[in-house]
């Protein structure tokens, strides 16, 4: 696994214009930007932490919470909206007690609202760890989440 030093070694002498690519590399390594990694980037680039955080939080691509073992991406594009994705989103937020961008306390699930994932004919679409589910309803998503809970218990 890559370390922060491995990443920094590729940016020797870097200035602030390398901030975004460095943050992208860190997120690719860890799946999110932790406080410690932001602090390390701040020291490496000799930029204030507030500046680093300000830039990172401007872009949707950066996440500040550790993703759950099962990362739920719920599409809120137009086709999915028309087919009822808002109800599915409300239900999943209520069930898991998290908002988009958050992870459940047990670390099992994280939720991300995404724009069209290019599978509009299957709307509403939910993707969990890269697996797509079509025509999702609040009820069917409940059952889907149960299968992941079971999977997790079995250590898969
Ligand atoms: S709008 Fe959801 S897949 Fe296109």
| Per-residue tens of pLDDT for the chain, all 156 residues | 679 999 999 998 888 899 999 999 999 999 899 999 999 999 999 999 999 999 999 998 898 888 999 999 999 999 999 999 999 999 999 999 999 989 999 999 999 999 999 999 999 999 999 999 999 999 999 999 999 999 998 886
Q: Where do the H-state alpha helices sit in the chain?
A: 4-9, 19-30, 35-45, 49-58, 78-82, 85-96, 138-153
Per-residue model confidence (pLDDT) at position 156:
65
CB-ligand 1 contact for 89 (6 Å cutoff): no
C-alpha 81 – ligand 1 centre gap (Å): 8
Q: For residue 128, what are the β-bridge partners?
A: 72, 131
Sheet holding 70-75, edge to edge: 109-114, 70-75, 126-128, 131-133
Binding site membership of 127 for ligand 1 (Cβ less than 6 Å): no
- So where are the chain's domains? 4-58, 70-153
- Return d(Cα 147, Cα 156) in angstroms, integer: 11
Q: How many CB atoms lie within 10 A of CB 143?
A: 9
Domain covering 70-153, topology: Glutaredoxin (3.40.30)
pLDDT at 25: 96
Protein residue closest via CA to atom 1 of ligand 1: 77
């Amino acid at each position: 696994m890559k370390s922060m030093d491995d990443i920094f070694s590729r940016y020797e002498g870097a200035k602030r214009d390398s901030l975004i690519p460095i943050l992208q590399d860190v997120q690719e390594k860890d799946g999110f930007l932790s406080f410690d990694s932001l602090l390390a980037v701040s020291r490496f680039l000799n930029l204030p932490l507030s500046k680093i955080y300000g830039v990172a939080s401007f872009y949707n691509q950066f996440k500040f919470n550790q993703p759950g073992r099962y990362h739920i991406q719920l599409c809120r594009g137009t086709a999915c909206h028309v087919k009822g994705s808002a109800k599915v989103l409300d239900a999943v937020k209520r069930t898991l007690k998290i908002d988009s961008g958050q992870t459940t306390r047990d670390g099992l699930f994280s939720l991300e609202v995404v724009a069209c994932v290019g599978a509009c004919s299957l709307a509403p679409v939910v993707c969990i760890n890269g697996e797509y589910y079509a025509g999702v309803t609040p009820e069917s998503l409940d059952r889907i989440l149960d299968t992941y809970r079971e999977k997790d218990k079995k250590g898969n």
